[in-house]
Structure 1
């Protein structure tokens, strides 16, 4: 079985596109080969800034021959029907077979397709892959029609086995396939031929190209760590930057430099961000001082002076960049020390949303809401309100204007320079968090209050103006804001009624400024109804995001639905505690059987109530019990009901589940021994009222009818 090697050699591919391009090449080619009837043992895709490569091992020599039989029209069918059948098969009439069928003679076509050689299939599949490659952005060059991310120079495509290598002949837009490639642009630019993947990888390394992205990342990380260790420093970890830099170089040569003394007092985040964004430098921290004192740049070339010239040039550019940062910092500090009044005034002219007012309007709403939330999270209301008033001011700073990703981080520094309490300053930094599913959740009370207020105001505002997410579109990141609320509440055990908090957010400014009804027949009552409707809809959205979040934690959606059907479903901590205990119970055989018994009781009761037009909810009396199973169920309910209610009242849901689990055997025995809908109406009513006690026992915990299966 031959092995296949493909390389598409071009000008530099943007680093951000390389990982996806590797996977797309692998998928397009291997799927195409399989669809054409070939099989293979394994495949691996690789990329460097100038090449995409694919190695396919154990490819079959050819596709298998195929025979297809197709039934056609009857022998006496109209000529047009026969002509259509012949066109669809590509055969002539004399190539058809007449066979006996239930309705007489029928034409059959027997189509033999011989196997195709692997080279023919590979050429066809690769040509299509190149022409239809899904680059996020592509270009045309010269007089050709081919679109590629950057000009494509050569196509290497060979099949190799024990007898040697052979070129798979194909041509795409004037570029003919071959068995040659090139090494490093400067260190080894000459072309060379290869015989197989192993030969390819070895010769590329000799030509100063590391083919494997993971190897380049590892080499950069290791050498950077060694350089830092030699100076008593440590590299600030940044996996995103490491991946990007590995996509910029074919032969990584890390070089270490020092940051000039005059810049060392800049906040470390400023140094790190400036070096990362502008020059793709890794930051080196001195663990003794906690400052960023050095950097690592990764060259793509070895030089006779061991990179001294490269490093000197980078030092000059870095000094210019950091001079700008120092200028911004000094200007911002003057405003901060003066109380940041200029920035607060400036927020009045910054529009947050044309239907939701300015950033200053938004800050006022967040401050009012943070004051209300503060007691729920153990924060001082005055500190929470003050932190909210300061949290957005750094948006007007020069530093954040240059580096928007530093918003919040710089807010903390400026608040401290203004003499604010540390808890207030920390909240200015933390109030955007958590930004994603892996982002750290704030736990300081003032930070939690402001972060919740910020996100709830955002959600309430866009709900008030009916700008909700639709399908895959979420331009205002409202799903992320909802997940942030959920994670803040759950991580900090915040016992709040989110529906009430949302109504407070709507009533405190949003509806009065942007959503109130006007005109005849409208007024306070109508506005209150609209606030309630919007907050209910927002709570339903939060419930939907909670389902997604808990599903990722291993809790089934039907369990969440069963719990959300209970009162208090805007207390997310309560909801999760119920759902977790119920999920644990339903993972046992007893829990599953108990659920079936509770559902059976509810279903029989619902059918009887619909038929009789009455509600069976009281009056079950053990004196009307006719069987031991009935009497045992009465006794079990008498014991379980108070235990369930007491446990639920204490929110000890594992204990409540344990108490209701004790009903499993009596309920099973009851249904095995008793016919509920007996002819004796007194006994029937008594048994239905007994089922009502079972239903109510379950309802104390969850709506078990929503459990599937």
Structure 2
């Protein structure tokens, strides 16, 4: 078994593309090895600022010999069919094998040396590599993310010779651009390759670079009594910018800390790729930053720190200008600007959207314990900062800056908080607001988006969701559930949102849209509960009752899940399905008898009588439990049906030859199905 090492060395690869490139290289290599019939023990890829690396361990030195039997036409088939089969297989008739009146071709192929297969595989990978953006250079035809300089290709310690667009494979690679020895050097296998790179100031593995940055950055902060502000996204990015990362602590003018901390951090992160620093003894940021250099400076990084400090000061001066200008401008001017910004050609301007959100927030406010006037006022301010200069520079700060500006303008803290947080939650990892005013505005914002795009038939399809409607629906669900908000989706959420869209040029079928949106919520709720380990079919079983109170639905699902996990629940479900099958068969023949179940009939089995009394008692108990939303008690009431149902099916013949007995027993089964159907549609439950 042998090792294959491939390095594709180029000019700088953008950090944001490196992770995806490593995954694509792994996928493409695995696919081509499999297609060639090559097995392996391990396949690993690495991506860095100037190189993609692949190492495959445990490759055979040749593919195995193969013998394949191909079925052909029958021996008595027309001559044309036989001729076509012979052309396909490349054999003659006397080379075919006849078995049970059918011709078979036995095709044999000798194995090929792995080293002979590698050039073609690498060529396919390189020429078909799915870079998000690529370029061509010189007179060649090859496209790569940046000009490709070298190719290392070693199999079993030997160079695999080939050429791609004038670039010949070999055993030479290069180390760090500035700190390294300055000349190419040869490698003989992966262990030698990795060791020589590290001795020439290149950390091959992004995990190693990330760890070095984190540990060194924390150390340079701790040495001065400060702490690093964690930022995993920035850490991943800078790990793709430096082959030999060296964190350096720099200083900035403390006056800049009068800016909102989000502005300072984003200026550092977006423009300069700096980490923010905080003082553990105080609240907020410290007047320092950490820059990750790609060199080890002889002066300990003082000159680098000073230069980066000057650059950061220029950036923060711009931010301070935006801040000061925005404070002078204010909400009235920004709101007027929204009148000229189109949200969607068929959904009007942003100003019109704000009016819809404000009206909807006012309706929702009492349902979540918020003041309607404040909810309307907060909603009217919520989108204004989209016209602010700071948000124009940093779109990530929409809402956040609005909160600061609202507070600076003298609006109540609750209003400012609602403006700041009304976009939340923006993803599964984002926090869910709990302040009633914020919840009202956040719900109104997401419902207007969701219902609006459904109204103009811009629904998600397959994996495509250009308007993030799945995220909006999940946001509504999390807001409702985390705050235990008792809101009926149809009448109290979707219908008011549709009412705000009455000015659309095209009339909308409100009932149809309500149905579609509620069904969409059901699908998103299934995804959420599935991620929590709940069964999706239980959501369908509860939604089938027509209930659209998400809090109540989840409570039912949880109680139903617990009930079905018991022996009583599992056996009663089986009894329900048996009863339903009998009733469905009768329904196909005609009407199933309905009405009161009779007891005390001559010769009536005691099991039939017992089930009749048990079903009546269960109906009373279930109704009482559902009235108080005590779903555990409703399940307990159903559990008492298990033994009578089992005994009934064990001892009683439903399809009696006596019509009166048969009708009474069908009525009884219908009663059992009906009482269980008050809790959930058990027919939609798998099992």
TM range (shorter): over 0.9
- CA gap of 1:286–1:87, structure 2 versus 1, over 3 A, is same
Aligned equivalent of 1:243: 236
The total of aligned residue pairs comes to 685
- CA gap of 1:507–1:45, structure 2 versus 1, over 3 A, is closer
Deviating more after overlay: 557-566 vs 650-659: 650-659
- CA gap of 1:371–1:204, structure 2 versus 1, over 3 A, is same
| Offset, 1:699 | 1.1
Deviating more after overlay: 69-78 vs 327-336: 69-78
Aligned equivalent of 1:520: none
Match of 2:126 among 126, 130, 141: 130
| Offset, 1:212 | 0.6
Deviating more after overlay: 181-190 vs 228-237: 228-237
Counterparts of 1:184-583 in structure 2, within 5 Å, are: 184-188=176-180, 189-287=182-280, 288-336=282-330, 340-506=331-497, 508-511=499-502, 513-514=503-504, 517=507, 530-568=509-547, 570-583=548-561
Instruction: Compute the TM-score of the two structures, normalised by the length of structure 1.
Output: 0.92
| Offset, 1:470 | 2.8
| Offset, 1:307 | 2.1
- CA gap of 1:120–1:370, structure 2 versus 1, over 3 A, is same
Question: Following the alignment from structure 2 to structure 1, what is the Cα–Cα distance between the partners of residues 83 and 2?
Answer: 43
| Offset, 1:423 | 0.8
Counterparts of 1:104-143 in structure 2, within 5 Å, are: 109-143=105-139
Counterparts of 1:1-20 in structure 2, within 5 Å, are: 1-20=1-20
Question: Following the alignment from structure 1 to structure 2, what is the Cα–Cα distance between the partners of residues 52 and 486?
Answer: 42
Q: After superposition, what is the alpha-carbon deviation per residue over 1:374-398, rounded to whole angstroms, capped at 9, x for unaligned? A: 1111111122111111111211211
Name the SS for the 1:510 alignment partner.
coil
Q: After superposition, what is the alpha-carbon deviation per residue over 1:342-377, rounded to whole angstroms, capped at 9, x for unaligned? A: 222222222222322222222222111111111111
Asked if the contact 1:502–1:535 (Cα under 8 Å) also holds between the matched residues in 2, the reply is no
Asked if the contact 1:434–1:484 (Cα under 8 Å) also holds between the matched residues in 2, the reply is yes
- CA gap of 1:620–1:151, structure 2 versus 1, over 3 A, is farther
- CA gap of 1:580–1:622, structure 2 versus 1, over 3 A, is farther
Name the SS for the 1:344 alignment partner.
helix
Name the SS for the 2:464 alignment partner.
coil
Name the SS for the 1:134 alignment partner.
coil
Asked if the contact 1:6–1:54 (Cα under 8 Å) also holds between the matched residues in 2, the reply is yes
- Unaligned regions of 5+ residues in structure 1, if any? 518-526
- CA gap of 1:6–1:681, structure 2 versus 1, over 3 A, is same
Question: Following the alignment from structure 1 to structure 2, what is the Cα–Cα distance between the partners of residues 221 and 245?
Answer: 11
Question: Following the alignment from structure 2 to structure 1, what is the Cα–Cα distance between the partners of residues 428 and 99?
Answer: 65
Deviating more after overlay: 552-561 vs 623-632: 623-632
| Offset, 1:637 | 2.5
| Offset, 1:30 | 2.6
| Offset, 1:428 | 0.3
- CA gap of 1:621–1:62, structure 2 versus 1, over 3 A, is same
Asked if the contact 2:391–2:397 (Cα under 8 Å) also holds between the matched residues in 1, the reply is yes
| Offset, 1:597 | 0.6
Asked if the contact 1:135–1:149 (Cα under 8 Å) also holds between the matched residues in 2, the reply is yes
Question: Following the alignment from structure 1 to structure 2, what is the Cα–Cα distance between the partners of residues 4 and 99?
Answer: 41
Aligned equivalent of 2:679: 701
- Unaligned regions of 5+ residues in structure 2, if any? none
Q: After superposition, what is the alpha-carbon deviation per residue over 1:99-141, rounded to whole angstroms, capped at 9, x for unaligned? A: 55555xx876443311211211223322221122122222211
- CA gap of 1:625–1:5, structure 2 versus 1, over 3 A, is farther
Asked if the contact 2:75–2:98 (Cα under 8 Å) also holds between the matched residues in 1, the reply is no
- CA gap of 1:452–1:617, structure 2 versus 1, over 3 A, is farther
Name the SS for the 1:6 alignment partner.
strand
| Offset, 1:576 | 1.1
Counterparts of 1:61-140 in structure 2, within 5 Å, are: 61-70=61-70, 84-91=84-91, 93=92, 96-97=94-95, 99=97, 101-103=99-101, 109-140=105-136
- CA gap of 1:412–1:73, structure 2 versus 1, over 3 A, is closer
- CA gap of 1:325–1:685, structure 2 versus 1, over 3 A, is same
Name the SS for the 1:4 alignment partner.
strand
Question: Following the alignment from structure 2 to structure 1, what is the Cα–Cα distance between the partners of residues 99 and 61?
Answer: 40
Asked if the contact 1:411–1:425 (Cα under 8 Å) also holds between the matched residues in 2, the reply is yes
| Offset, 1:471 | 3.0
Asked if the contact 2:447–2:494 (Cα under 8 Å) also holds between the matched residues in 1, the reply is no
Question: Following the alignment from structure 1 to structure 2, what is the Cα–Cα distance between the partners of residues 385 and 701?
Answer: 38
- CA gap of 1:70–1:392, structure 2 versus 1, over 3 A, is closer
Question: Following the alignment from structure 1 to structure 2, what is the Cα–Cα distance between the partners of residues 346 and 254?
Answer: 43
| Offset, 1:426 | 0.4
| Offset, 1:440 | 0.6
Name the SS for the 2:541 alignment partner.
helix
Question: Following the alignment from structure 2 to structure 1, what is the Cα–Cα distance between the partners of residues 221 and 400?
Answer: 26
Q: After superposition, what is the alpha-carbon deviation per residue over 1:238-293, rounded to whole angstroms, capped at 9, x for unaligned? A: 11111111111111011111221221100000000111111111111223131342
Question: Following the alignment from structure 2 to structure 1, what is the Cα–Cα distance between the partners of residues 592 and 70?
Answer: 64
Name the SS for the 1:115 alignment partner.
coil
| Offset, 1:231 | 2.4
| Offset, 1:605 | 2.3
- CA gap of 1:621–1:292, structure 2 versus 1, over 3 A, is farther
Asked if the contact 1:498–1:571 (Cα under 8 Å) also holds between the matched residues in 2, the reply is yes
Asked if the contact 1:5–1:156 (Cα under 8 Å) also holds between the matched residues in 2, the reply is yes
Aligned equivalent of 1:55: 55
